[in-house]
Each structure stands twice: as structure tokens, then as C-alpha cells.
Structure 1
């Protein structure tokens, strides 16, 4: 993670240089760059706008008030803002200021405190109670958080010690003492005050508060005729997902055959869903194509009998939607289980 360190006094400069030196001595996850107020024309305020966008975190070696006044114009949302940590110029305290969980400020504050032998100051309620926060749990497992407001509601319940249900298609379980594992969403225990749901499936409204985390466990195989527009392929993927009641936020990979690797429509589709595009060779597809229905037309055109089903199969998981046809487009879906 790229970290910008700002200092304003001689003592702060010495401390900032020390943090940079300590980060360079180890294979740290943090790459720290130090800027002093005197070296920037017009002061560090002129640098802050670009730093806010370019760095994963900011360390202010200053009074908390200075940091707050400087960053206030740039604060947008905790899912977008960088981590911000404030350290007094004597190195006594390392304070997590904003983006403690998702931005990583809590972890950064603890790292700085350890390095300079100071005291970390963490004020987020869940951390102080030894609760694994939902957003940290989601970030750790690469889950998409569908609704931040519902996360806040369930987190507030956890802080109060309420009984929380947990339903998941994956293996990882959040660390919370008063947790009840739910095996079936149709039969939720009435003693549960809220529920955390980890699923790629669309969920109808439940009768209790809930939040949904989307695991990356859906793979999409795509075949298409030449020069099919990206908009049409995207709509075909969405339609197939809707029919099977899957969320597009759970797409892990998209796959196709090497003959189609430069097909603009498929490239546009992978970009739209922000998904890696995996390309399979003719030989790889031939090794599994006997498992699926065959098309002589496709064989005569590109050298294999089928594209979408073998590609989805090779991406991994269980076939949950065989070849769906959309006027020159074929879509197949597999779903992976566990491990997350």
C-alpha cells in the first residue's frame, strides 16, 4: 500500500524520516513517502488533493486539528476514502482518524505505533469490543458489500451483544461470540435479531434485519458469433443470471475460446462486469467437450463442438445453467462452493 506521510515541524520531520527508514528495512506491506511542509511550495495543503486520490493512506505527523481541517474538503465515503492516521510529533500516539476498517487506518495506526514504540488509538466500537466487523470480514474474503446501511444496522446489534444469524455458501465464518449458524433461510430461528447472509443468490425480503455479502463464486462461459455487440452479450449474461436468481456482483471469472480472445463484445462484457477474462485453447476445450451437447456448425466454424459450456466447466464449479441461447450468443454458468 502506498502511504504519504506529512510533517510540519522539525521533530515531525525526524519522525517521518524514521518511519520511512523503518518501512524500507523490512518487506512491509506499506511503501511510505515523506513530504514536509517546507519542501512543498505553498505548503502541504497544495499537495493534499492529489495525494488523496493517489495514495492508499495518509499519515499526518501533527495535531489532530490540523489533519481534520486539511482533509475535510476531500472526505466522501468510508468505502472510498484513504486511511488517515495522525501521529503527534513526539511519537507518543498513533491515532486512527478515518476509514478505520475498509481503508485500513486501524491496521496502519497499529503498525506505526509498533514501529515508533508509541500507543495505537483505535476508537471504532467493534474493535474495542473484540468483534470482527462485517466490513473487515467482507474485505478479508473479497466479498462485495451490497448495502452499507444494513451493515451498520447489524453491526450496531453486534455491539449490543444481540444474537446474530449467519448463513453462508462459503467456508469462512465471522468472529462473533453470539452467533447462530443458519442452515436454511426458510427456517430462521425466531430468537435471531438479525442475520448476515453470504450468498450469490438473490434474496427476497426477510422478516428480520439482514445484510448481504456477495462472494465471488459464479463463473460465466461465453460463446458468440463474430462481431456481436457488447451490449447484447451483457444483456444475455444479465438475463441468464436473473433466470437463475444470481447476483452479477458474484461473478468471479468470464471465459471464452482463444478464437474469440479479441472479440470486442466479449472484451466489453468482461470490462462491464469488472471480471477477469480467461482464454482457453482449442485443445483445452477438446479435452472436455464430450461432456456437453455438440454443434456441428460451431465445429465447422472454430474447430470445437461447443464453447460456453466447456469454458464455464474449465473455470471451475458445478454447472448450474447449461447453454442458454440468445441469437448468436451462448451463456453457461458454473458455481463454486466453499473456500471463502
Structure 2
């Protein structure tokens, strides 16, 4: 994660430097700047709010609140915003405590600075399950964030939350959460499109799209082909977790841009690796002639295992096949922020 720290006094800069070094050990690489006439706070916030996962203001909470207010969008997109006093006595998450991980970062700041973390989110204050924190750590997409409130409210009121998952998990369900099957629920973990009522829908990235395309195929056409394939398989777009192809396409501009846009890894294999994979694949003499292997998309989709759930779909110079990989959820890591 990228982060940015700003302070306004020399004492604050010293605290910021201690925090910067400590967060680097946690995998958060931060820059440190001093605010003032030479460095506009508004401009600094505007720049880093857009491209960082963490903003830290070493100073008064009011300064931080006024600085970020023009840029706040929603809880699924806003970065974590943390405020520390210049002496490093307190660490206060101001924004994105759960999804952005700011509550956890505040705890780290407490360790690094000897500060008191001030967590104001109700579930954390009472030691209850924070579903958005857990979902984010599991890599699940939250499809309807407004439903988070219903889940948290039920737990705070001492009511059961019913969870229905298409996938197995490790560990025990959190306090207040019970397993349900095929019926009304409050948390639905699935990649399958459907009418899940008012349930909070969490989608794991368990699908690999094997893709082949003509040279120069535009990014938009690849988006269309993949979305059509996912729709045909009855899957949410957010279920896409990886794209695979032949190494001849590793620098194909449209394909690379597509993967960057969707935020998914792009892996490629040699024709020899693809050809060595055993199975029943849709052959193409043309593809064999050009690439040295009789099928790219289906083979690429299965190179890391899983099962083929959609065979080769072709159109407008793009071929797509989908495989479903393993997904095991984890409740065994504890429920700390």
C-alpha cells in the first residue's frame, strides 16, 4: 500500500518520521511532507487522496477533517485517513476504518508511537464481527455496501445474522453469526448472480478467464467479450480473479490495459506449457498454425487447476473460456480490527 504523511511542526515531523519507518515494516510505503506556505494542504490532499491507500495528518483532527471533506466519496473507495497528534499520544481513524483498514493501521500506530488508538466504530468498540473488515481481508468484493449497516445493526442489537456461503471456510463462525442454507439470509457469499433479497452479497474472485485475441484488439472489445462470458455463466463481473493467455500476448496493449482496468493479475504461458496440459479442448487449426498449440483460451484458463465452466466463446477477434478455482474462506485469524 502507498501512503502519505503530512505534519505542520518540527515535533510533528519527528513523530511522522517515526511513524513512516514503522509503517514501512508493515508493508506501507509512505512519503513525509511538511505543510505550510510552500506546500498547500488542499493540493497535497487532492493529489494523495486520489492515488494513496492511506493519508496521515499529524496535527489537529479538525485540520484533517476540513482537508479531506471536499474529496470524500463513499466507504468502498475512500482511502484510510488517520490523525495523530504531534506528540504521538493518540491515533484516531477518521475514514475507512474497516474497508480501508484504518482501524488496524491505528493499532499499528499505537505500537510504533506508543500511542492510544481511538476506535469509534461500534462493532470494534464492543468486540463484535465487522463484516466489511473481514470481507476486505478475504479479498471479497462487497456488491451492495449499504447492506453492511443491516448486518452490523443486528449484531449490535444481539440478533442472529444468517450466513449462506457457496464456499467452505476454516475456523468457527464469529459470535452472533449462524450458518444458513437456501433461504433468507443476511450475508450471501457467492459468485452467482441471483435475487438474494436484502442480503449483503460478497463475491470472491474465483474465476480465471483464458483469453486469446487478434493483434491490436482494443481494450473495449475485450471488456465486452469477458463480460458476455461471465454473464453467460451466470456470474458477477467481480468474480473475475485472473486472466491467462499465451506468452505471445504478454505485451498485447488491449489485453494488458483490460487487466489493469479490472485490477486483476495477467499471467502467460508458453505454447509448450499449454500444449502439455492434458484434457479435451476445442481445437482450431488456425490457432495451431499461429501459436503452435491447438487452443489457447481453454488451456490457459486451466493451467493453475480448477474446472472449466464455460468453453471457448469466440467473437469480434476475441476468444474467452472460464474456469472456476478453489475458494476457502477463513474465520480462523481472529476478529481484531
Deviation at 1:271, TM superposition (A): 4.3
Tell me what 1:200 maps to: 191
Bigger shift: 263-272 or 67-76? Answer: 263-272
Aligned residue for 1:254?
Answer: 243
Equivalent residues of 1:132, 1:175 under 8 A apart: no
CA distance in 1, matches of 2:39, 2:245: 53
Q: CA deviation at 1:3?
A: 3.7
Residues 41 and 67 in structure 2, CA contact (< 8 A), matched pair in contact too? no
CA distance in 1, matches of 2:239, 2:228: 15
2:78 aligns with 81
- Residue 83 (structure 2) pairs with residue 94 (structure 1): no
Residues 170 and 309 of structure 1: is their aligned pair in 2 closer, same or farther, counting only changes over 3 Å? same
- What is the aligned partner in structure 1 of residue 117 from structure 2? 120
Give the secondary-structure state (helix, strand or coil) at the position aligned to 2:294.
Answer: coil
- The aligned counterpart of 1:167 is 164
1:151-184 C-alpha deviation (Å, 9 max, x unpaired): 22222222222211222233446853121223x4
What is the distance in 1 between the residues matched to 2:215 and 2:60?
61
Aligned 8 A contact 2:221 2:316 in 1: no
Q: How far apart, in 2, do the equivalents of 1:65 and 1:335 lie?
A: 48
Alignment of 1:205-224 (within 5 A): 205-206=196-197, 209-224=198-213
- Stretch of structure 1 that moved more, 135-144 or 101-110: 101-110
How many residue pairs end up in the alignment?
A: 328
1:35 corresponding residue in structure 2: 33
Partner of 2:123, secondary structure, is: helix
8 Å CA contact 1:223–1:307 kept in 2: the answer is: yes
Partner of 2:334: none
Please list, as runs of the form range in 1=range in 2, the aligned pairs for 1:4-15 lying within 5 A after superposition. 4-9=4-9, 11-15=11-15
Q: What's the counterpart of residue 259 of structure 2?
A: 270
Q: Which moved more, 1:322-331 or 1:126-135?
A: 322-331
Q: Deviations over 1:54-93 (max 9, x none)?
A: 4432333333223323332232222232322222334432
2:280 matched to 1:291? yes
Q: Distance in 1 between matches of 2:3 and 2:218?
A: 41
SS at match of 1:314: coil
Asked whether the 8 Å contact 1:321–1:334 carries over to 2, the reply is yes
Matched residues in 2 for 1:271 and 1:3: separation?
A: 20
Compute the RMSD of aligned alpha carbons: 2.9
Give the conservation status (yes or no) of the 8 Å contact 1:253–1:315. Answer: no
CA contact (8 A) 1:253 1:276 kept: yes
Q: TM-score, normalised by structure 2?
A: 0.84
The change in CA–CA distance for 1:293 and 1:45 in structure 2 (over 3 A counts) is closer
